[in-house]
Amino acid sequence: MGRFVLRRLLQAVPTLFGILLLTFLLTRLSPSDPVTLIFGDQFNVTPEQRAELRRNLGLDDPLPVQFISYVGHVLVLDFGNSYYYHRPVLSVIGERLPNSLQLSIAALALGLIIGVPLGVLAALTRGRPTDHAIRLVSVGGHAIPTFWFGLLVVLNLGVMLRVLPVGSMNDLGKESDILDRVRHMIAPVVTLALAGISNYPRFVRTELLEVLSQDYVRTAHSKGLRQRVVVTRHALRNALIPLVTSLGGVLTILIGGAVVVEQIYNWPGVGRLFFEALVNKDFPIVQANVLVGSALLILSYILRDVTYALIDPRIKVKA
């Protein structure tokens, strides 16, 4: 297992290098001039000031020299300064990351806690009203756009009925109040989890129905095992493979946050930062997000493969 992980990590190096090169070239070849972006909507900037900044940023150097310098900095996790905030990118992202993690982890957990049992229930009640109801909810939830659902929640539950906050992470003065934080998390977490709550039942139902018809399950039943034991210990474990596949990119979501949900619920996370960075053409932040996101995507695929082996002994990971 250890060798497998090591090999996959080594294989990831050229991939990451390619992404590094691509993001570097895309930003350098973009018609947007970093010096203009840094000065933003400022006037009375002299040509000398612009030239000086260009020199300081190393933009006068040949592209290969710039790239080598960029790689050198990235290797020590120095993504440069944000064009917009004029502060180190890592510090700007670091301030927001914990906020996004709170939201994403809770949404992931909620999606699994609700979605998986619903899928099991639908499979066990196949063709009955419960199954139909779950499938209806699943398809409906899948069809509802996140932004629309979020706006409805804010308008109806926040502004009109006032049972939930309209946004933000906490009420002012209640920064350390856990219950207040939970109250603020309800709407964004449910909105973010909507996709999972809708999708997971479909994955689990389909796969579980297939597994339940297999011989080893029949054998388990004939041994006199109770239905609950057969499902949870024998069938469900094998039925989870497609779900694990769909969770492959989960780490990316955790770091990237949820751009739309954070925007709607005014959640100060990485997703909103990424959106603002795109609008402001804050390339260092965009580059860092893409790079870290890519690294985490690769990592989550490795974790996925390892998880396959853990939940299904028939699958072996070979170095």
Partner 1 sequence: MRRFVSVFGSMALVVAACGTQGPTGGQQTPGTADTPVPGGRIVRAATGDPKSFNPIIVTDTTSYLYTGQVYYSLLTRDPKTGELTGSLAQKWGLSADGLTVTYTLRDDLVWSDGTPFTGDDYKYSAEAVMRSKRTTRQNTFTNVQGAQEYKEGKADQISGIQVKDGGKTIEIKLAKTLCPAIENLADPTSGGILPSKHFKQYFDPRTTDTSKTIDDNPLNMAPPASMGPWVFKDFKAGDRATYTKNPKFYRGEPLIDELVIKVYSDVAAIKAALLVGEVTFGSSTPQDFDELSKAESLRGFEFADYGWTYLGWNPDAPKAPWLANKLVRQAMWYGLDRKAIIDKIVFGHGKLLYSAQPPASIASYKDDDLNHYDFDPKKAKALIEQAGAKMGPDGIYRWTDGTPMKMRIETNQPNPVRETILQLAQDQYKAVGVQIDPILESFNTLLERIRCCGNDFEGWVSGFTGVGPDPDQEDLWHSKHIAANEFNRWRYRSPAADKLLDQIHNGPDCSEATRNKLAHDIDKLINEDVPVVFIYSPNTIVFANKALVNFAPTASQPSSTYNIEKWWFKK
Which one of residues 22, 152, 159, 319 is an interface residue with partner 1 (CB under 8 A)? 159
State yes or no: residue 202 binds partner 1 (CB under 8 A): no
State yes or no: residue 98 binds partner 1 (CB under 8 A): no
State yes or no: residue 29 binds partner 1 (CB under 8 A): no
CB distance 315 to 303 below 8 Å: no
State yes or no: residue 269 binds partner 1 (CB under 8 A): yes
State yes or no: residue 189 binds partner 1 (CB under 8 A): no
The torsion angles phi and psi of 88, rounded to 5 degrees, stand at: -60, 135
Residue 154 or 195: the one with the smaller Cβ distance to partner 1 is 154
State yes or no: residue 279 binds partner 1 (CB under 8 A): yes
- Minimum CB separation of residue 24 from partner 1 in Å reads 20
Burial (CB < 10 A; 0-12, 13-18, 19+), residue 56, is exposed
Residue 46 or 222: the one with the smaller Cβ distance to partner 1 is 46
State yes or no: residue 27 binds partner 1 (CB under 8 A): no
The residue with tokens 């339940």 is: 212
Q: Near partner 1 by CB under 8 A, which window of 86-94, 128-136, 187-195, 235-243?
A: 86-94
- Minimum CB separation of residue 268 from partner 1 in Å reads 3
Which one of residues 237, 248, 263, 311 is an interface residue with partner 1 (CB under 8 A)? 263
- Please list every residue from 49 through 68 that binds partner 1, using CB under 8 A: 49-50, 52-53, 56
State yes or no: residue 228 binds partner 1 (CB under 8 A): no
Torsion on CA atoms 280, 282, 288, 293, rounded to nearest 10: 20
Residue 71 or 155: the one with the smaller Cβ distance to partner 1 is 155
Residue 319 CB neighbours (<10 A): 10
Which one of residues 62, 127, 129, 173 is an interface residue with partner 1 (CB under 8 A)? 173
State yes or no: residue 102 binds partner 1 (CB under 8 A): no
Residue 70 or 274: the one with the smaller Cβ distance to partner 1 is 274
State yes or no: residue 33 binds partner 1 (CB under 8 A): yes
Q: Near partner 1 by CB under 8 A, which window of 21-29, 91-99, 111-119, 190-198?
A: 91-99
Residue 168 or 214: the one with the smaller Cβ distance to partner 1 is 168
DSSP for the chain, please give it: -HHHHHHHHHHHHHHHHHHHHHHHHHHHHSSS-HHHHHH-S-----HHHHHHHHHHTTTTS-HHHHHHHHHHHHHTT---B-TTT-SBHHHHHHHHHHHHHHHHHHHHHHHHHHHHHHHHHHHHTTTSHHHHHHHHHHHHHHHS-HHHHHHHHIIIIIIIS-SS-SSSSS-TT-TT-HHHHHHHHHHHHHHHHHHHHHHHHHHHHHHHHHHHTSHHHHHHHHTT--HHHIIIIIIHHHHTHHHHHHTTTHHHHHHH--HHHHHHTT--SHHHHHHHHHHHT-HHHHHHHHHHHHHHHHHHHHHHHHHHHHH-TT-----
State yes or no: residue 184 binds partner 1 (CB under 8 A): no
State yes or no: residue 92 binds partner 1 (CB under 8 A): yes
- Minimum CB separation of residue 222 from partner 1 in Å reads 59
Chain residues binding partner 1 by CB under 8 A are 31-33, 36-37, 39-46, 49-50, 52-53, 56, 84-87, 92, 95-96, 99, 154-155, 158-159, 162, 165-169, 172-173, 262-264, 266, 268-269, 272-273, 276, 279-281
